Amino acid sequence: MDAPRTFALMITLLLLAPTRHGLDMQKQESDQTIKIGTELVVLDAQVLNKKTGQPVSGLAKEDLVLTEDGVKQQISHFSFDKAPLSIILMLDVSGSVQMVLDQIRDKGLQALERLKPEDEVAVVLFGEWFELTQEFTRDRKLAARKIGELGRLAQSMRAATFIDEAVYQSAAHLLKSSTPGASRVIIAVTDNIQSPNAAGHTRTEALERLYESGATVCGLIVGDFDLRAAVYKQRGVRIDDPIGMFANETGGLFLKTGKEDASARLGDLIDRLRSRYSLGYVSTNQKRDGKLRRIKLKTTDAAEKRVGGISIVTRRGYRN
C-alpha cells in the first residue's frame, strides 16, 4: 500500500474511533512526531594543549560551550574515545607518493593494528579516477593486503590527480558505513598537489558532500607542501591546499611524512583519532531549510584556567 493511501486510512480510522481512543491516538502521534522531527547533530572534537600539542583528556560536557549560528546549544551526548571509527584510507597514486605507499604496504598492518576491534576500514586509490579496492572491513590483514596489491592499477591512474573528486566519492561512500554511530573519517595519503583543470566534482561539491556525511578529513602529507607551494609561486604558479581546507572545515588533522616513517605516522594519526571527544545535540533551530549552520566549540573560562591554554579542533558546520 502506498504512503498516501496508508495515511488516508489512518485518518479515517481515527475519525471513526471513540473520542477517548482518538485522544490517545492523537497523543501517540504527537509523541511520535516529536521523536521523528528531532535530529541529533553529532560531531567529534580533539582538545589539545597549546603548549605541548598533546590531547587533553578528562573533560566533562560542562567544561564545553557549544553554539550554532551564535546560539548556545545543550550538549546531550558526550563521550571520550568510545565511538567506533569508519575510516576510508584514500591513497594518492602519484609517482611522488609511491615510495611512501611502498612503506605503508610493507608495514601498514602495524598501523592498522592500532584500531579497535569494532573499527572498520576501506581502501581506495585515486589519481585520474577513483577506485574502491577494499570495501569496509574489520579484517586488518585483508586491508593491508589490498594496499599491497595496488601496483598494477596505480600505473594506469597516474596521468592526473583529482583530489576534489576523490574526497567527494569517499564522503559519498562513507554514507554506506555499516557501523551505527561511527565517527566517519577520510585519511588522505597524498602530496596534496591537484592537477590543473581537474575533472569531476568541484571543491564546493566535495565540501557539501562532507557536510552531508558528517565526515572528517585528515591528511598524511608526503613531503614539504609549503616549500613546494613557495617554489611554484616563484615560478608564477599558484597551487592551493585542498586537504588543508577540507581538514580545517571538518575538524581534521594532518601530519607530514617521508618515505622512512610513513607507517609510524599513519599509526600516530590513528592514535590521535582515538583521543577525541564525541558530542551530540539537538539544534534549537528546527527549520529544515538546507542552509549551512555554523558550529563553534570552546571551553569554559573555568576549564581554560584549570587546564591551561587549550585549542579545539572540530568541524565548523553542517547542513540540516
CATH code for the part of the protein at 38-81+276-319: 2.60.40
DSSP state of 115: S
User: How does DSSP assign 264-309, residue by residue?
Assistant: HHHHHHHHHHTT-EEEEEE-S------PEEEEEEEE-HHHHHHH-S
Q: Terminus-to-terminus CA distance in the chain, angstroms?
A: 30
Q: Where are the domains of the chain?
A: 3-36, 38-81+276-319, 85-273
The C-alpha cell 607542501 sits at 225
List per-residue pLDDT tens for the chain, 320 residues long: 443 433 333 333 333 333 333 334 333 333 332 333 458 898 899 999 888 888 899 999 999 999 999 999 999 999 998 889 999 999 998 887 878 888 787 777 888 999 999 999 999 999 999 999 999 999 999 998 888 787 777 778 888 899 999 999 999 999 887 787 789 999 999 989 888 878 899 999 999 999 989 899 999 998 777 777 777 677 777 778 999 999 999 999 888 887 778 888 899 999 989 899 999 999 999 888 888 899 999 999 999 988 888 999 999 998 87
Q: How far is CA 11 from CA 3, 8, 24, in A?
A: 12, 5, 14
- Asked whether 251 and 45 are in contact (CB, 8 A), the reply is yes
Q: Residue 162's pLDDT is what?
A: 94
290: left (phi over 0), alpha (psi -120 to 50) or beta: left
Task: Tell me which residue of 217, 130, 119 sits closest to 166, measured CA to CA.
Answer: 130
CATH class of 85-273: alpha beta
Cα(144)–Cα(201) distance, integer angstroms: 29
Cα 21 to chain center, whole Å?
A: 47
